[in-house]
């Protein structure tokens, strides 16, 4: 079952990211974004099975530099190592994109491996005039366009508070 994260599940969510990545960076991003205006509770999604959280994805608000509009940013996405390769990550991303579409948002951006995210509908963002944050390679910055008539923002993304500089 995929659902929004509930109050009191921060420790379980952090454990998923810590185990998935083997470091503190991803759990700390989620923890630092939660108390900011970038956090969207309905887009912090968990994959739960038999009462256990097996995966988590965070979608938060980011901005376009120089006063541009806000845009949805997907990441981090984590799945417990024993559960990887079973479609949980893909299901979380598809659920996040569907929820963003329901909000009427034109797109979702992310920094990640194109080999993984292309199958979920992501393409290079610079082809649409969306540029990566400083220090992020163009090839890793991707966008999922959420509608044929979507009016995409243009410019360089600025990570929300809580993401590393």
d(CA 163, CA 93): 19
Residue 117 belongs to a domain: yes
Band (pLDDT 50/70/90 cuts) for residue 162 is confident
Q: Is the peptide bond before 76 cis (omega within 30 degrees of 0)?
A: yes
d(CA 108, CA 127): 14
Burial of 68 (0-12, 13-18, 19+ CB in 10 A): middle
Residue 165 belongs to a domain: no
In order of 59, 89, 134, 153, the CA distances from 38 in angstroms are 9, 22, 19, 17
Note down the domain range covering 141: 2-158
Band (pLDDT 50/70/90 cuts) for residue 60 is very high
Residue 163 belongs to a domain: no
Provide φ and ψ at 62, rounded to 5°: -120, 175
d(CA 159, CA 53): 26
How many domains in the chain?
1
Which two structure tokens, joined as six digits, stand for 21?
A: 């990545």
* Enclosing H/E stretch for 163: none
d(CA 128, CA 20): 31
Residue 36 belongs to a domain: yes
d(CA 140, CA 124): 7
Residue 96 belongs to a domain: yes
Residue 141 belongs to a domain: yes
For 111-131, write each residue's pLDDT tens digit.
Answer: 999 999 999 999 999 999 999
**Domain CATH for 19:** 3.40.630.30
Contact between 123 and 117 (Cβ < 8 Å):
no
Residue 73 belongs to a domain: yes
Residue 164 belongs to a domain: no
d(CA 6, CA 151): 32
Contact between 155 and 68 (Cβ < 8 Å):
yes
Give yes or no for residue 142 having a pLDDT over 90. yes
For 41-56, write each residue's pLDDT tens digit.
Answer: 999 999 999 999 999 9
What mean pLDDT value characterizes the chain? 94
């Amino acid at each position: 079952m995929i659902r929004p994260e509930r109050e009191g599940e921060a420790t379980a969510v952090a454990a998923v990211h810590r185990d998935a990545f083997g470091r503190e960076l991803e759990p700390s991003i989620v923890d630092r974004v939660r108390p900011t205006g970038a956090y969207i509770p309905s887009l912090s999604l968990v994959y739960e099975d038999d009462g256990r959280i097996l995966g988590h994805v965070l979608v938060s608000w980011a901005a376009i530099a120089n006063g541009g509009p806000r845009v949805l940013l997907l990441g981090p996405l984590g799945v417990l190592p024993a559960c990887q390769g079973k479609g949980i990550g893909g299901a979380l991303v598809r659920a996040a994109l569907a929820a963003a579409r329901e909000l009427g948002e034109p797109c979702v951006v992310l920094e990640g491996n194109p080999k993984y995210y292309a199958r979920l509908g992501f393409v290079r963002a610079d082809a649409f005039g969306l540029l990566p944050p400083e220090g992020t390679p163009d090839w890793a910055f991707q966008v999922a366009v959420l509608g044929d008539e979507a009016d995409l923002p243009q410019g360089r993304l600025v990570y929300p508070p809580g993401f590393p500089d």
